[in-house]
Amino acid sequence: MKIGGRQLLEHARTYRFELRHITLLFIVLLVFQLIVSFLHKASLQKFLVKTQEWYQQDSAERLANLTTTSLELLLEGNIRKGVANDREVSKMVQGLNIILSQQLLNQNVQEVCVIVPADTSVVAIDDGNALYDHIFRGRPPRAKVPAPGASAQAASHAHAIELYRRVAPAIRGSEQIQTVLEGKQTFHVFVPFVPHGEFMGAVYMKNTPDFSFISREIISSYDEIALTFSGLILFGLLAMFYIFSFTMKERNEAQQLLFRKEKEHFAEQIRHEKEMLFTKRIYHTHHKAEKVMGFIKEDLRSLSDRNIEEVKNRVIKYSNFIARVIYDMKWYDPPVQTIRSPLFQTNINEVLRFLTRNVFQRVSGGSSSPRFELHLAADVPAVPVNEFVVWEAFEPIIQNSLEHGNVPDLLVTISTSFDAAARLISVVVSDNGVGLAPDLLEPDGRGVKGVFLENVSTKPKGNQHSGYGCYVAFEIATQRCGWTLDAVNNDTRGCRFTFTIPYQG
């Protein structure tokens, strides 16, 4: 466990935290905190609303039930006494008025009355005399018509009577409290009125309890806690950033210095690799330049009146190739405009004809010399690449077929074609030799086949200049000219190299 913790600590030290990281971390934590706070607040508010609704109805029903019980107890006491004198009647009426009006002092209670059936109608009683006459003297109450400018309570009894008609069957059948909710917190409570064991109607109370201030206080306190917690997170992260920045300042400076040294080292390594590639390319083309110089000398010795024009054109081509080789010796990374430019209009067919006729067939002779077949399409357009760069790309591939064919009747076939629809030029160099070894056709991690890698050759190991021909051709074709080069074995014998050249004319 100790080793694992130490490794984890070393792994964590490789990461550098800056102010933007702390800011992002704070924003993420703040967003999560807001989401959690919002969900918790919504859940708490929903719980408080449900609790408030239940408590509002319960308190309204309790208050209405208490009022009904008070009325019933007052009436029951006087029923037992029997006939009462005027003084007792006055005291009882005063008690009934007090019970009916006392509840209106509560700010949540808006209307109180006793609703009783009278003949074929229903009447609301909110006066002690009328209620006494109805119960003790048997006088049926009369419906009051509110006078103009009467109180809102007297005018609203009509709505109470309408609601009573709706719930009367349930009250008579179950003799239980019935509550009608209007809006969100207005409760119309009907309590069965049975003063001496006989159902006589219902005590009605309109109650609008309001406990929202409790929910507001709880939500406000929760918001304060959430803001305080978010502030503590912010100050904690800022303190962490200050301590971390102070302790890691020297390490960051050392890392910056190390990065600069590594950058300089990588630049030096890239420059060294370019110089090495330049040197290898020059070594590879040096003996070809010597061979071409021999051709020039031989042509000059054979110069006569009959072949002067032919020799002159050939020597000019040879000389231009030597000039290109000398120019390449000046730059290991030549400017791109000296390789590709619209000013160059090179005929690929002419380059291939000149190479086979005046380079490869000139050094071959006898009955065992390799044979060449050219199948050059007439519609192949010119390419915007320097003629002698094209020469440097094709020559090593053809030379590879001659050196590694290893059959007495070697035949090298060179063909060109142009696909106008795909706008692609194809140059195929094929032979009937022994072909390429399977391992040379396996791609590496970059997708480059082994035949195009540096220092890869089938020649004896002692040859220090081997393994560069196909490598140089691949680098020139892909990196400098923007072409693609692939190698496969034929179905019967030999191998086949294919140059694919995009045409942008």
Q: What is the CATH number of the domain that holds 409?
A: 3.30.565.10
Rounded CA-CA distance 145/154 in Å is: 9
Rounded CA-CA distance 355/321 in Å is: 11
Question: Does 282 map to a domain?
Answer: no
Contact 354, 318 (CB under 8 A): no
Do 193 and 48 have their domain in common? yes
Residue with token string 């072409």: 483
Cα 325 to its chain centre, rounded Å, is: 53
Count: domains in the chain: 2
Which contiguous run of DSSP H or E holds residue 202? strand 201-207
Is residue 279 classed as helix, strand or coil in its secondary structure?
A: helix
Number of neighbouring beta carbons within 10 Å of residue 77: 11
Question: Does 94 map to a domain?
Answer: yes
Query: E strands within 72-182?
Result: 109-118, 121-125, 178-182
Structure tokens at 114: 């006793």
Do 204 and 342 have their domain in common? no
Contact 100, 149 (CB under 8 A): no
User: Which of 153, 186, 210 is where one domain is finished?
Assistant: 210
- Whole-angstrom CA distances from 396 to 281, 381, 466, 471 are 11, 23, 12, 9
Is residue 126 classed as helix, strand or coil in its secondary structure?
A: coil
Rounded CA-CA distance 215/378 in Å is: 92
| pLDDT value for 463 | 46
The one-letter code for the residue type at 73 is L
Question: Does 341 map to a domain?
Answer: yes
434 DSSP assignment? S
Which contiguous run of DSSP H or E holds residue 11? helix 2-13
| pLDDT value for 81 | 58
Rounded CA-CA distance 76/342 in Å is: 120
Question: Does 156 map to a domain?
Answer: yes
Sorted by sequence, the CB contacts under 8 Å of residue 343 that are 6+ apart come out as: 384
Sheet holding 411-419, edge to edge: 371-376, 411-419, 424-431, 495-502, 484-489
Question: Does 203 map to a domain?
Answer: yes
Question: Does 109 map to a domain?
Answer: yes
Regions in the chain scoring below 50 on pLDDT: 1-3, 145-152, 154, 366-367, 462-465
Structure tokens at 455: 């220092």
Question: Does 488 map to a domain?
Answer: yes
- Whole-angstrom CA distances from 450 to 217, 438, 456 are 78, 9, 7
| pLDDT value for 500 | 96
User: Which of 153, 176, 210 is where one domain is finished?
Assistant: 210
Question: Does 199 map to a domain?
Answer: yes
Structural domain boundaries enclosing 71: 21-210
| pLDDT value for 429 | 96
Cα 299 to its chain centre, rounded Å, is: 70
Rounded CA-CA distance 85/93 in Å is: 12
Structure tokens at 247: 């302790």
Rounded CA-CA distance 122/125 in Å is: 10
